Amino acid sequence: MKSMNNIHVGLALCTLLFCHTTVVGQNDDSFAKASIIEGIQQFQNGEEGADSLFALGEAHSELAPIAAYNRGRSMLENQEGLTEARQAFQRAISRTEDESLVADAWYNTANSLMLEQDLDGAIEGYKSALRVNPGHDAARFNLAQAIRMKQDQQDQQDQQDQQDQQDQQDQQDQQDQQDQQDQQDQQDQQDQQDQQDQQDQQDQQDQQDQQDQQDQQDQQDQQDQQDQQDQQDQQDQQDQQDQQDQQDQQDQQDQQDQQDQQDQQDQQNQSQQVEGQISKEDMEKILESLERSEEEIQAKLRKSKGKGQKVKIEKDW
């Protein structure tokens, strides 16, 4: 059960009223009245079931407000069914003009709200009790208690709000710091990436430059080799030409030597023969010599045509 510390409940038994008024000819009222009396006895003895007896007593034509109030009071004492207890107090308020009973009903209505920590509702209930009965000390005391609790609650709420705001601000500051750190980390990563990209580009450029230099060197080496080969080819051609020229000169010299020998032989033969006479043997030799010379001359012509050179042919006849 909920505690009612610092709340003055007011268990004055004078509020557990029962009427000795004689009601003639109403068996229902008699039964209801007996239920109220029995309920008061059980309530005073601390026994359970008093609220049920007071519920039966609400059927009484005149004592219904008292039965309703006592029922609410019994339920409030057990701190159970507080909503039904307030409903019972409100029935008592609506059915009677007894200001004392109305004030007590409002007072206990407020007490039930205090048990549920409804401070605003309790404050209004105590104020209602004091409006009906300004001399209700218990209502005034509990109202002060409720207002103090409300202020404490408000202070706690304000502190909690401030703490929540501070926590939110701290969280926001942490989040801002984290965001700044994340941005800085991203920027650092981006800077590192940019530096790496620049380094990669520089490395690629250096490699490309080295490759270009190597290509140029290779081309230069190929050109130098080609130039050397061309020079060697030219030298070989020149050497071949020189050899050919020497061979041609030697051939011409050999022909000239043969011709000179032949001329000498002819002159010698002529000196031995009679002028105007040629022997048969000499004639054959002369013809053979002419044929050989002709063959040699034709060979030189063919050789010169193969080289694309013009050769001046001198015949001795």
Question: Distance between CA 68 and CA 105 in Å, rounded?
Answer: 10
Amino acid at 140: R
pLDDT confidence of residue 146: 96
Half-sphere exposure of 46 (CA within 13 A, CB side): 0
DSSP codes joined into one string, 63-91: THHHHHHHHHHHHHHHT--HHHHHHHHHH
Question: Distance between CA 310 and CA 151 in Å, rounded?
Answer: 137
Question: Distance between CA 270 and CA 8 in Å, rounded?
Answer: 187
Q: Which residues have CB under 8 Å from 119's CB, separation 6+? A: 113, 146, 149, 150, 153
Half-sphere exposure of 12 (CA within 13 A, CB side): 13
pLDDT of the chain, 317 residues: tens digit per residue: 333 433 333 333 333 443 333 333 357 899 999 999 998 998 998 888 888 889 888 889 899 999 999 999 998 988 778 999 999 999 999 999 999 999 999 999 999 999 999 999 999 999 999 999 999 999 999 999 999 999 998 999 899 999 999 999 999 999 999 999 999 999 999 999 999 989 999 989 989 989 989 989 989 989 989 988 988 988 988 888 888 888 888 888 888 888 888 888 877 766 665 555 667 787 888 888 888 888 888 888 888 777 665 555 555 54
Q: Look up residue 216 and give its two tokens.
A: 């140029």
Q: What is this structure's pTM?
A: 0.50
Nearest to 98 by CA among 126, 141, 132: 132
**Domains in the chain: ranges and CATH:** 13-157 (1.25.40.10)
Radius of gyration of the chain (CA): 74
pLDDT confidence of residue 180: 93
What are the residue ranges of helices labelled H in the chain?
27-44, 50-57, 64-78, 82-95, 99-115, 119-132, 137-272, 280-307
Give the total residue count for the chain: 317
Cα separations in angstroms, 41 against 53, 85, 98, 108: 10, 19, 23, 20
Amino acid at 36: I
Question: Distance between CA 34 and CA 57 in Å, rounded?
Answer: 8
Amino acid at 159: Q
Question: Distance between CA 109 and CA 93 in Å, rounded?
Answer: 11
